[in-house]
Amino acid sequence: MEIRNAHPASKFFPFLSWFGLVDKSTLKDDFFAGITNAFIVLPQGVAFAMIAGLPPEYGLYTAIIPPIIAGLFGSSMHLISGPTTSISIVVFSSISPYAEPGTGEFISMALTMTFLAGLTQLALGAARMCAVVNFISHTVVIGFTSGAAILIATSQLKHCLGVDIPKGESFVHMWVNLFHAAPETNPYAVAVALLTLGVVIAMKKIRPRWPGMLFGMVAGGVLAWLLGGESQGIRVVGSLPSHLPPFSLPDFSAAALSNMAPGAIAVAMMGLIESISIARSIATKSRQRIDANQELIGKGLSNTVGSFFSCYASSGSFTRSGINYAAGAKTPLAAVFAAVSLAMILFFVAPLAAYLPIPAMGGIVLVVAYNLIDMRHIRAIFRASKAEYAVLLVTFFATLTVKLEFAIYVGVISSLILYLNKTSKPMVLSRTPDPASPTRSFMTTPDMPECPQFKIIRIDGSIYFGSVNHVEHALQEMDEKTPDQVHALIISMGVNFIDLAGMEMLMHELERRRAKGGGLYFYRLKGGVYSVLKKGGYIDVIGEENLFHSKGEAIRTIIGKLDMDKCRRCSSRIFTECANLPYDKDLAATAPEKGSFPLTGLP
């Protein structure tokens, strides 16, 4: 869905940019996606709150308030915020040294951390400092998404199999525990999960626009009831609170602010990386453009406001966002419907929701995890670039073996290493006029003759501290092969950037050639590169007369500086201007040029 005409006030109220797209059709899609999401988040909210060391209801509160604010003030059409595993772990590890988990003091500190994290995100977003997210390449996002999908699926297998495995284990340990627990598999739980899966898959093929996930959960719930539910070991959500998030007040004491600040910064940065990565991964499917700064402002507002309504730190949720997109959501109103639906469930039908079978929800999440793996792009990356594919694999396996936020760091660093490796080796090619071309355009062919005194070089890539050694080595190799080519014209249209190290390297090359009686000249120097050289005083050393915008002018000027005695013996004559130079056939015969070819019409 494309936003065509943004409202003038959408800069401050982003929801105005997409609100005009809302109609009867999108409302229906968003409504069903929201209801599906509300049921999915019930067990998640409880589990995440327990991981964070908070009472179960705090996870549900965090799934009500933040999604509304983040949806209305963010930029993604499908991202849904709420409690997440990584944020919950950071909250617990940061606060547990100061207070006992589950106590009033612990809760107060968690709210303080949430408030500070929100302010940090707001400040970063307002200052438009989300440029760091630009270093998260599409390849990293694909690898991270695929790894997270495997993690999500693995975490749900215990629910689908109806077995108990220890919490907080690593990916490998989870599979080891699942293997050991396999003999205890509950066939009734498996039946509920498989029926849910089957209904969802069938609905997607038969009625793709219908809320298949909701039908799947209902079918799983009915089967669980027919099988006897809890009496057959089919676990359910359990009792839930039946009231809305109460007003709360973070602890603003100096000690609390000081103690919670480091954890708040970690939460803020983690939320930035998680939310933008998830938003971008879903945007690759929905073909939507994400504004990282606006997304961060939305997250900051949601955490800041949420801290006053008993919500702990939230971030973008992989599972809920994936379900939101897969369920057919069209606008952020789906997040609002999800939050309102969850509140209604808690307020009106908490006793009924308590009997929702967890294996059914596990089956739904397995479908979502499968849809998060983008095999089309993975195959495209594999065919296009093995180096990019290596980055994808590194990110994928890092996601499975280290914490999610560190997996992103690993992917980003891998991408930067790949980028630096590419930019550190710009193309440095010898060029010569094409004799078959009417315009004598330059070409690169190893067996073509060259002027014995005049070298034409093309550099494609930035000349900076990382590439200086490569460029310098390439120029030295050329000089060793043809030491008499003391004049060199550098075709500079491919040089986009140059730094101090690059400028100094060119000056050394210039001095070396001038010492041998030659010179260094530049053709089509870009404006940005010229400006840097001018400000550094290097243009004065090079000389404005040695900078050319015309190929013909450059060749005529440089040929005028060549040693005419050598030209007299040269039979290469690769330039049209050579036809006007003196030529001694007898001298040329005694000292033929290797690979030379005579121009027609020579005396």
What confidence tens digit (pLDDT) does each residue in 518-530 have?
999 999 999 999 9
Cα–Cα nearest to 41, from 18, 23, 59: 59
The pLDDT tens digits of the residues spanning 417-442 come to 888 888 899 999 988 887 766 666 77
- Taking 60 as the threshold, does the pLDDT of residue 168 lie above it? no
| Contacts (Cβ under 8 Å, ≥6 apart) of 590 | 569
Q: How far apart, in whole angstroms, are the C-alpha atoms of residue 400 and residue 155?
A: 12
pLDDT in tens, 82-96: 988 778 877 887 888
State the Cα–Cα distance between residues 351 and 359, nearest whole angstrom. Answer: 19
- Report residue 187's pLDDT band, with 50, 70 and 90 as the boundaries: very high
Q: At what angle do helices 333-348 and 65-73 cross, to 10 degrees?
A: 170
Output DSSP code: residue 463.
B
- Beta strand pairing status for 442-443 and 427-433? antiparallel
Between 103 and 238, residue with greater pLDDT? 103
Is 60 exceeded by the pLDDT of residue 3? no
According to the 3-state scheme, what is the secondary structure of 161-180?
Answer: HCCCCCCCCCHHHHHHHHHH
Token digits for 191? 């039946």
Query: 54 pLDDT exceeds 80?
Result: yes
Query: CB–CB of 303/115 below 8 Å?
Result: yes
Task: Give the rounded percent of residues in the chain with a pLDDT score beyond 70.
Answer: 89
For residue 443, what is the DSSP state?
A: E
The pLDDT of residue 531? 93
Look at residues 482, 473, 537, 531 and name the one whose alpha carbon lies nearest to residue 504.
537
DSSP 392-410: HHHHHHHHHHS-HHHHHHH
For β-strands 315-316 and 519-523, DSSP reports them as unpaired
What pLDDT does residue 17 have?
A: 72
Q: Is 400 in contact with 154 (CB distance < 8 Å)?
A: no
Q: Which of 164, 238, 151, 229 is nearest to 191 (CA)?
A: 229
Those residues with Cβ within 8 angstroms of residue 485's Cβ, 6 or more apart along the chain or in another chain: 450, 451, 452, 453, 454, 455, 478, 479, 518
Instruction: Please name the amino acid found at residue 306.
Output: G
* Distance, C-alpha 483 to centroid of its chain: 47
Q: What is the pLDDT of residue 595?
A: 39
User: Full-prediction pTM beyond 0.85?
Assistant: no
- The pLDDT, as a whole number, for residue 459 is 94
Residue 304, pLDDT > 80, answer yes
For 582-602, write each residue's pLDDT tens digit: 666 555 555 544 434 344 333
- pLDDT, average across residues 238-262: 83
β-pairing, 427-433 vs 454-460, is antiparallel
| Residues whose CB is less than 8 angstroms from the CB of residue 391 and which lie 6 or more positions away in sequence, other chains included | 137, 139, 140, 143, 411, 414, 415, 418
- Residue 388, classed as helix, strand or coil, is helix
Which residue has better confidence, 477 or 601?
A: 477
User: What is the CB-side half-sphere exposure of residue 146 using CA atoms within 13 A?
Assistant: 23
More confident residue, 95 or 5: 95
Between 372 and 185, name the one with better pLDDT: 185
* Domains of the chain and any CATH numbers: 23-418 (no CATH), 427-590 (3.30.750.24)
**Least confident stretch, 129-138, 242-251, 498-507:** 129-138
Residues 6 or more apart in contact with residue 557 via CB below 8 angstroms: 521, 545, 548
DSSP at 64: T
pLDDT band at 465 (very low <50, low <70, confident <90, very high): very high
